[in-house]
Every structure is written in C-alpha cells, then in structure tokens.
Amino acid sequence: MPTIPESEPHRHRRMAESFGADAERYDRARPRYPTPLVRRIAATAPGPTVLDVGCGTGIVARQLRAAGCEVLGVEPDERMAELAWGLGTEVEPGTFEEWDPAGRTFDAVVAGQAWHWVDPVAGAAKAAR
C-alpha cells in the first residue's frame, strides 16, 4: 500500500470516515465550539445561510442554528450524517468535493475541525463559488 504524505490528510478517506463507528459517543465526547466564536460567525456573515462542510454529527451546525443561522451540512460518513439528521441538522451525504450545490449559494462556509479532510485546491475553489 503506498504511503500518503502527512501533508495530504484529505487522502486518508478511511481514517476520516472511521469516526462514524460510534457516532453517538463521538457527539457526546467532542468539545463544543466557543460560543463567542459561533456568535461572531452568525453576526458577521452577510446573511443567515451557512454550509457546514464535514458536519459530522452536527455539533457546530446546532450551535449556529441556536445563533439564528439556517444550516445545511455535507458529510461523507453516512452514520455521522444520520445522527446529525436525527439531532435536527439538514444533511446531504457525500464529500464536499463531489457534492452538488444544485445552484444554491450560502452566506458562509464553515468546516469546524474538518477542513483538513477536504482537498485543498478543489475545496477552496468550490467554497469560493
């Protein structure tokens, strides 16, 4: 098996998708994001619609919704997406790189602690669109 350079974590799909093995425990154990940060994102975005890339179980999405945002998550691990959906986050399964926004635009794009799983070139270009 070829070695993947540490500088390319987005190529470690199997590792990225391993967190869903126990999505409920992941959701319980994962720290929440600082409330002032979440409020600042909500307050400074040009509008209320937010795309949460690699939303996992929806931790940051739930916090942003509580701050008044409308959030759509994109999550490659169906087990994580299912839990996020069950906890009230609208989620579309898939990787961000392959996800189709279907003409939708968003006022902000966030990635919690997941951006390193996204291809840096393709992801940045898609987020800019």
| Among 91, 102, 83, 81, residue whose Cα is nearest residue 51 | 91
The percentage of the chain sitting over the pLDDT mark of 70, rounded to a whole number, equals 84
- Is 7's pLDDT higher than 70? no
- pLDDT bin (cut points 50, 70, 90) of residue 29 is confident
Question: Can you say whether the dihedral through the CA atoms of 42, 31, 22, 96 is positive or negative?
Answer: positive
pLDDT at 17: 59
Measured CA angle at 102 (ends 112, 10), to 5 deg: 35
Q: What is the pLDDT of residues 77-120, one digit of tens each?
A: 999 999 999 999 999 999 999 999 999 999 999 999 888 889 99
Q: Are 127 and 53 in contact (CB under 8 A)?
A: yes
43's CB contacts (< 8 A; 6+ apart) are none
> In this structure, which CATH number among 3.40.50.150, 3.40.1190.20, 3.40.47.10, 3.40.640.10 belongs to the domain 9-128?
3.40.50.150
pLDDT surpassing 80 at residue 14: no
Residue spans per domain, the chain: 9-128
Token pair in block for residue 12? 């470690």
Least confident of 2-16, 41-55, 79-93: 2-16
Task: Please enumerate in sequence order all residues whose Cβ is within 8 A of that of 111, keeping only pairs 6 or more positions apart, or say none.
Answer: 52, 53, 54, 118
pLDDT digits (tens, 9 = 90+) for 62-75: 999 999 999 999 99
Which of 83, 69, 74, 63 is CA-nearest to residue 111?
74
**Cβ contact 68:45 at 8 Å:** no
